[in-house]
Structure 1
């Protein structure tokens, strides 16, 4: 049985900044481990000691994990709708607060937060790093 599932994002060299930003918006507990702090030797690549080896933002009902990509030709486009995070909130006002946090910090609206055809509130924003965040609530 699966005990938990977390989203893992590989970012091109700005994981610490993105995770710190998301921590400012959502709160929770943030841990960041840089390669220079790991003592790892014998890796098949030579990472920048300041690069993020692993980070986790633990929230009451989930987690986001991330690390810096190593630039070995596996950097995939971040901005798009193929990868996104869905945040379900208790109220529409709570969702609007998170959305405003992203927009105030340089994000852009992808889909306005409004009543959806299925009856819930739904909307999407791209944060300043290109990650798409979708917000949903059944709050009337």
Structure 2
């Protein structure tokens, strides 16, 4: 059996912008399907023009899926109850991705520095409210 764990994010109407930004950060292949691209079918909601039904970003090391949340109560992504952990072999590589994720308007919420367990660790909240944790072996 082959299995892969892939986070899926329901964005509050800005999935295209967010996923294009992640594509710039992580590279790889980005596929976006809007509701406009789908065949006619009955849906329990009326999607706005251009709303993302399903998108995937696959870069080899990162696989992320997402779309636009539907309805008047779209979620706020900023939360302390989830985050995505990126693990690196080299501190410099982690620092590079921290720069990439903050370049779009994100902020470092925990400085990337030596942690009690011996690795380097830090956190970034990107401009969309997604929390990214960074862990790198001390090189």
Say yes or no: TM over 0.5: yes
Q: TM-score, normalised by structure 1?
A: 0.93
C-alpha deviations, 1:93-117, integer Å up to 9, x for none? 1111110112221111110011110
5+ residue gaps, structure 2, are none
CA–CA separation in structure 1 for the residues paired with 2:127 and 2:53: 22
CA–CA separation in structure 1 for the residues paired with 2:48 and 2:63: 25
Aligned pair count? 139
Pairwise CA RMSD = 1.3
5+ residue gaps, structure 1, are none
Report if aligned partners of 1:57, 1:65 keep a CA contact under 8 Å in 2. Answer: yes
Report if aligned partners of 1:109, 1:125 keep a CA contact under 8 Å in 2. Answer: yes
Residues 98-107 or 111-120, more deviating: 98-107
CA–CA separation in structure 2 for the residues paired with 1:84 and 1:27: 20
Moved over 4 A (4+): none
- Say if 2:95 is the partner of 1:87: no
Question: How far apart are residue 72 of structure 1 and its match?
Answer: 4.3
- Tell me the equivalent position of 2:48: 48
SS in 2 for 1:122: strand
CA–CA separation in structure 2 for the residues paired with 1:44 and 1:109: 39
Q: Give the 3 Å change call, closer, same or farther, for CA 89–21 of structure 1 in structure 2.
A: same
CA–CA separation in structure 1 for the residues paired with 2:80 and 2:29: 27
Question: How far apart are residue 77 of structure 1 and its match?
Answer: 2.5
SS in 2 for 1:19: helix
